[in-house]
């Protein structure tokens, strides 16, 4: 079983396809869950502990907006843990919590420079593209084990 990070990190389709093939999908909701189970946090992930910006500082400098560092405190450990990654590029769905363009750029950059098996593709727009999308992901995941 390989730990596969998916991008967008909240993607249902990607995490489902990863878990269908028996691998573990690294998604942001699992990181949020760890915070939810931590006593003393009022409204995670909006509330941070003093430890969180320190984790974020590892990936982004102190003059980078705090939102980037806060997000990287969740995404950074996932990137470090990842043994492979699937990245969808035309992500017009990254709104709200995942809507920070700078964090998304940094996440994709860190995944590319980590030298792990990486699959980059686009969300399908028609049936034939969807078949290629599923097939490429299956082949990529089968090649990991």
Partner 1 sequence: MKATKYVVTSQESDVLPSDIALKIYELGRDINVKETCFGVIIDGEEEDIRATVEELRKMDESNIFIKDRGFPPGDPRRCRGHRGGGARPGFYMMQHESEILPLISRALEADLRGEEAPLPIEAKKRPGLEELEEMINEEFS
Site string for partner 1, 4-43 (x = CB under 8 A): ----x-xxxx-xx--xx----x-xxxxxxx-xxx-----x
Query: Under the criterion CB under 8 A, does residue 120 sit at the interface with partner 1?
Result: no
- State which of residues 7, 59, 133, 140 lies at the interface with partner 1 (CB under 8 A): 133
Query: Under the criterion CB under 8 A, does residue 132 sit at the interface with partner 1?
Result: yes
Query: Under the criterion CB under 8 A, does residue 59 sit at the interface with partner 1?
Result: no
Query: Under the criterion CB under 8 A, does residue 77 sit at the interface with partner 1?
Result: no
Mind spelling out the 3-state secondary structure of the chain?
A: CCEEEEECCCCHHHHHHHHHCCCEEECHHHHHHHHHCCCCCCCCCCCCCCHHHHHHHCCCCCCCCHHHHHHHHHHHHHHHHCCEEEEECCCCCCCHHHCCHHHHHHHHHHHHHCCCCEEEECCCCCHHHHHHHHHHHHHHHHCCC
- Interactions with partner 1, residue window 83-102 (CB under 8 A): 92-98
Query: Would you tell me which residues interact with partner 1 (CB under 8 A)?
Result: 8, 10-13, 15-16, 19-20, 25, 27-33, 35-37, 43-45, 92-98, 123-124, 126-136, 138
């Amino acid at each position: 079983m390989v730990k596969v990070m998916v991008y967008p990190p909240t993607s249902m389709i990607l995490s489902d396809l990863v878990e269908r093939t028996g691998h573990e999908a690294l998604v942001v909701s699992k990181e949020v869950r760890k915070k939810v189970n931590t006593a003393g946090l009022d409204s995670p992930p909006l509330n941070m502990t003093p430890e969180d910006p320190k984790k974020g500082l590892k990936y982004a400098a102190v003059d980078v907006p705090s939102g980037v560092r806060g997000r990287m405190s969740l995404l950074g450990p996932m990137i470090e843990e990842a043994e492979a990654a699937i990245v969808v590029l035309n992500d017009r769905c990254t709104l709200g919590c995942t809507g920070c363009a700078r964090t998304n750029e940094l996440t994709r950059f860190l995944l590319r420079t980590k030298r792990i098996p990486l699959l980059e593709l686009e969300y399908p727009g028609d049936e034939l593209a969807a078949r290629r999308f599923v097939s490429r992901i299956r082949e990529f995941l089968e090649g990991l084990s």
